[in-house]
Amino acid sequence: MPPKAAGRCFYEDRHRRRCRVNCSVHRDFLVVLNVPEKESLEIKAEVFSQNGGIILRQQLSTKEDSSQTTTIFSAEQLKKATNNFDESLIIGKGGYGTVFKGFLSNNKVVAIKKSKIVDQSQVEQFINEVIILSQINHRNVVKLLGCCLETEVPLLVYEFVNNGTLFDYLHKQGQGVNVSWKTRLRIATEAAAALSYLHSAASIPIIHRDVKTANILLDDTYTAKVSDFGASRLVPLDQTEIATIVQGTFGYLDPEYMQSSQLTEKSDVYSFGVVLVELLTGEKPFSFDRAEEKRSLTTHFLCRLKEDRLFDVLQVGLLDEENQQEIMQVSILAARCLRLTGEERPAMKELTMELEGIKLTKKQPWINAGRNFEESEYLLYEAQSSYEHGDSSSGQQNTGYDTLRELELIDFGNGR
């Protein structure tokens, strides 16, 4: 990226006068005022090149499909789309950037994300990720439409998803109380399908790395769309894990990843397990507002599961006679995702199939004809849990047991 002095920007140094550029110091947008047009174009071209624009164009020229789906937007286009990045159009803020609602000239509504400054040494990887993500075409993954590289901080343009996040749906203004189990199960299945696609069906496997309810968007029909790939990593085809600086969100982080810094697809699986528990309980992953033994949602959930008191932790009003079996099955899936050893967790593809199977059983009850529910209790797979050292991703402490291995069979007859 262009070098900056403290409190000043690259363009101010270049022109040796007061900066009139809305860059990262001045609103992150390259609009040069009182600078000759030719010089302004030269600056944009220089920044475009430094952000990998030339590499991107070369990549697109060799990929027929991506050239049809990836758009390189100009700075002026996105300035106009957001009314010069009006703060009233901000629809989200996070550790990886700010997202604005934008209106393109063809009336298409988009989400425009200002990411943090890209490390110059990572430009080629950034461009490769733009290419890969722009080729993803899955109904449950937010579509990357293109980018703008004329600004000091590259801008990414995504499809606009209009109904907020799953986090808001569950936790804001009591809305979660009205979210039916049927809707929760469908959302969980759709999110699992998206992650399964990223892990195994994309041209290069992608580890999301920040799976959480705040990164699962909902459209007007409450269809789930996995979003925010600011922390994602492409996995070389000849590798199963990659070493990285630990990144993610407190409460969702895979404890094994935190200890080893070795990122694998199973790190997403652990985070998805937290999402399942959130859907089951309606509680946030961690809260100091709860009693000490309940602050870590995953620890509290697993303890109640061990004690055969699952129904004590479910969101009030969620359980009924019709969904009892489904809730038990999903609870076991969540526990399997939360195993501290990644190798013991199921793959996202397996999780997707099992969630789809649970939905199918609901639609076609004859599948279980002749089977007595009380006689077909569910095996809780061995779930090693070394909690004596705590789980720093969610503030877990020793809960008084070191393993769930003794739970070969759980009697969910009463659930309490």
Catalytically annotated residues: 210
SS3 of residue 283 by DSSP:
coil
Q: Which residues pair with 110 in a beta bridge?
A: 102, 159
Question: Which residues, other chains included, contact 86 with Cβ-Cβ below 8 Å and sequence gap of 6+?
Answer: 100
The amino acid present at 154, given as its one-letter code, is P
Q: Considering only CA atoms, which of 119, 195, 110 is closest in space to residue 157?
A: 110
275 contacts 357 by C-beta, under 8 angstroms: no
Strands 262-263 and 242-243 come out as antiparallel
Query: Which residue's structure tokens are 């399942």?
Result: 276
68 contacts 134 by C-beta, under 8 angstroms: no
19 contacts 12 by C-beta, under 8 angstroms: yes
Cα Rg for the chain, rounded, in angstroms? 24
Q: Which residues pair with 373 in a beta bridge?
A: none
